[in-house]
Amino acid sequence: MTTVRAAITQTTWTGDKESMIQKHEGFMREAAAQGAQVICFQELFYGPYFGITQDKKYYRYAEPADGPIVQRFAALAKELNMVAILPIYEEEQTGVYYNTAVVVDSDGSIVGKYRKHHIPHLESFYEKFYFRPGNLGYPVFDTAVGKVGVHICYDRHFPEGWRELGLNGAQMVFNPNASKPGLSNRLWELEGPAAAGANQYFVLVPNRVGKEDNEYGDLAVNFYGTSYVVDPRGNYVGDLGSSEHEEILIRDLDLDAIRDTRDDWQFYRDRRPDAYDEIVAP
CA distance linking residue 86 with residue 46, whole number of Å: 9
CA distances from 115 to 76, 88, 138, 151 (A): 23, 10, 9, 9
The answer to whether 212 and 48 are in contact (CB under 8 A) is yes
Which residue intervals of 118-184 are DSSP H helices?
A: 159-167
Query: Catalytic: 211?
Result: no
Catalytic residue among 116, 164, 180, 247: 116
Closest CA to 97 of 130, 57, 136: 130
The catalytic residue among 43, 90, 127, 164 is 43
40 counts as catalytic: no
The pair phi, psi for residue 57, each rounded to 5°, is -60, -25
Residue spans of alpha helices (H) in the chain? 17-33, 68-80, 159-167, 185-199, 213-216, 256-264, 267-270
Q: How many residues does the chain have?
A: 282
Query: 227 near 210, Cβ under 8 Å?
Result: no
Which position among 153, 180, 212, 247 bears the catalytic label?
153
Is 17 assigned a catalytic role?
no
Sign for the pseudo-dihedral over CA of 86, 159, 279, 167: positive
> Annotated catalytic sites, by residue?
43, 116, 153
